[in-house]
Chains A and B, each alone.
Chain A
Amino acid sequence: MGKTFAEKVLARKSGQEDVIPGQIVIVRPDHLLTHDNTAAIIGKIGAELREFGVARKEMPVIVLDHVTPAASEKTATNHKNIREFVDRYGIANFYDVGTGICHQVVMEKGHAKPASIIVGSDSHTCSYGALGVFSTGIDRTEAAALLLRGETWLRVPETIKVELKGRFQPGVTAKDLVLTIIGDIGADGASYQAVEFHGNVAALSIEDRITVANMGIEMGAKVAVFPVDRLTRDYLESVGVSESDYDALWADPDANYIRVLEYDLAAIEPVLAFPHTVDNVKPLAEGNGLVFQQLLLGTCTNGRLGDLETAADILDGHSVAPGIRLLVLPASRQIFDQALEKGVIARLSRAGAVILPPGCGPCLGAHQGVLAPGERCLSTANRNFKGRMGCKAAEIYLASAATVAATAVAGTLSDPREL
């Protein structure tokens, strides 16, 4: 019997010939990602850190992104404590305020290598599945234990196979694909399972794959992973990771799956996740006439150069409609710089967008665009939970960058295919 991606990676990394779903293995992750919550994590183990130190200094990757620049004395103090921790323990991989959203930074700084294991105290750590990484979110207790011990346990997941064919129609994006899948299988449709993407994955750019993998957790997935192909290798090369730096793994053709799903990309239509759950997905037409006060273009799901360019192409020659605030957050400084050099930022700004610094921004409701009661936001983010953007009496809808830009121009929900 062949093996799935997850079975192969966890066998290799736990030093075993063979592992089966349900089995618990002990592994030493290649990296542990933490962000602003590093302050709370090290707060749990102050005495132990002083006595034993950090087990593996090359393992932690720390990125300040959640509330940056600090929005309060409390968040400023957290950042300060983290910087002192980094200095004291010689943590090599530290990225301060302004570098970007942690998941984007992990990839563009070359930390995400195929068939490596990355765990992070953030649920969207699953993003690096786009590059063939076994990456998954963990909790703070575990992150604290990892700092001290350098190893943790993982349960070998069952795997769902998603077979892709065809190509998107113009105006339809990877965001529509992943929202469609989540709508079909539900927020727990892949709970504690791996999701592998097969078939015509070449139709998805690396940016597209990151969008899809990023939202794996919204279907409950442990990991959401793509095979390593020419596009992956080129991307890795561009961030300084050469082929000799990794040994990629992929599933055998006769691997055992608990479920197989098939999607024809040509049949995917623009969709919208209605409040207040990500799996409340409906065709765009069902939201006809919806008016929004705020639009958010950015986040770890859709804050990359392609997303900004898509939006700029739609906004060119137009202005953001009256009564709408369009907030734009590039996912990283590198993306911001590229967008500046290509003139994309100028085009967005001229159309009336508010450009915010690279970071998580308003996605988690802490600052930079909190909603008021009764307001409605259309967002390219990955979550629309009640109160997610700071106000319980506001509504959040999720869609692609193209749909957000089309709506910015039209003033009401608009289908990017009709432009």
Chain B
Amino acid sequence: MYLASPSVVAASAVAGMIALPQQIPESPAVFEATIPTGGGTTSRGSSAVAEKPSKIRGRVWVVRQDNIDTDMIYHNRYLTVTDIAEMGQYTLDNLAGWEDFAKRAKPGDIVVTGKNFGAGSSRQQAVDCFESLGIGLIIAESFGAIYERNAINKGFPIMTANLLATGLKDGDHIEADLATGEVATPEGLVKGTPFSEVQMNIYKKGGLLNT
């Protein structure tokens, strides 16, 4: 930080470099950006990703609520976190009754919920936090449009099916077939929406950036 008078500050703003008011050049100074190597802070490996399974089995958490928005899923106070590994601990901590979800959930668990899951912001973290926790699948009656694309493009499996109408409860085990849209539950088979060809293709390759 350098301290100067208002007149020197104003002259320097115009000059593009430190300058006295009587010394402002005709055109401002332009400096080539000093570019460190490496464009970003992180880079994913470009090695081939093992193909993902099209059937997912796991223990369910039944979140019986519609319109869960992206601030409930991943609150804006954590938006500066950039490491996906750190995001999981904050998952659903702004959703009443689910504040301790991250502590209770285990890798491979499946989240089952209602309509318009992921409404609101386009924030990627609202998908990444589930990936960070190792959640295997989210099944909702419907998803917020951007959230749905977000998950599809990330290669994170989400599926549309109405499971809240069944007697499904926390701790039950289900198996979802992403290709057929069928979900085997203790209450019987429920027909959901199968992955589209594009969605399956992106998912199998581990995300749009791997296609």
Q: Which residues of A contact B (CB under 8 A)?
A: 24, 39-40, 42-50, 72, 74-75, 81, 83-85, 87-88, 121-123, 137-142, 144-145, 148, 153, 186-188, 191-192, 217, 220-222, 277, 279, 364-366, 383, 385-388, 390, 392
Contacts and interface: CB of A to CB of B under 8 A. Distances in A.
Given A186-B67, A388-B76, A390-B77, 18 more contacts: A24-B196, A39-B40, A43-B42, A43-B43, A44-B42, A44-B43, A45-B40, A46-B40, A49-B39, A72-B80, A139-B146, A141-B153, A142-B153, A145-B153, A217-B146, A277-B67, A388-B71, A392-B94
Contacts of A366: 76, 79
Contact of B71 (A81, A145, A187, A385): A385
A123 B121 CA distance: 5
B120 A81 contact: no
27 contacts: A39-B41, A43-B40, A45-B39, A46-B40, A46-B42, A46-B43, A49-B40, A75-B80, A83-B33, A84-B36, A123-B146, A139-B124, A139-B154, A141-B208, A142-B149, A144-B209, A188-B116, A191-B142, A192-B148, A221-B145, A277-B67, A277-B69, A366-B79, A385-B70, A387-B76, A387-B94, A392-B75
A259 to B, nearest CB: 16
B146 A88 contact: no
Contact of A44 (B40, B79, B196): B40
B185 interface: no
B204 interface: no
Contact of A45 (B43, B121, B124, B146): B43
Which of B32, B120, B150: most chain A Cβ within 10 A?
Answer: B120
A145 B94 contact: no
Contacts of B122: 121-123, 137-140
B86 to A, nearest CB: 13
A155 to B, nearest CB: 8
Contacts of B209: 44-45, 48, 141, 144-145, 148
B124 A40 contact: yes
Interface size class of B (residues with CB under 8 A): 35 or more
Q: Which 6 A-B pairs have the closest CB atoms?
A: A46-B40, A188-B116, A139-B150, A43-B40, A87-B33, A385-B71
B35 A87 contact: yes
Given A44-B44, A139-B146, A385-B120, A188 B67 contact: yes
A364 B153 CA distance: 25
Q: Looking at chain B's contact residues, is the secondary structure mostly helix, strand, loop, or mixed? A: loop
A82 to B, nearest CB: 11
Interface string B54-81: 0000000000001101111001110110
A383 B70 CA distance: 11
Contacts of B124: 40, 139-141
A187 B119 contact: yes
A138 B149 CA distance: 7
A231 to B, nearest CB: 28
A256 B18 CA distance: 63
A101 to B, nearest CB: 15
A220 B145 contact: yes
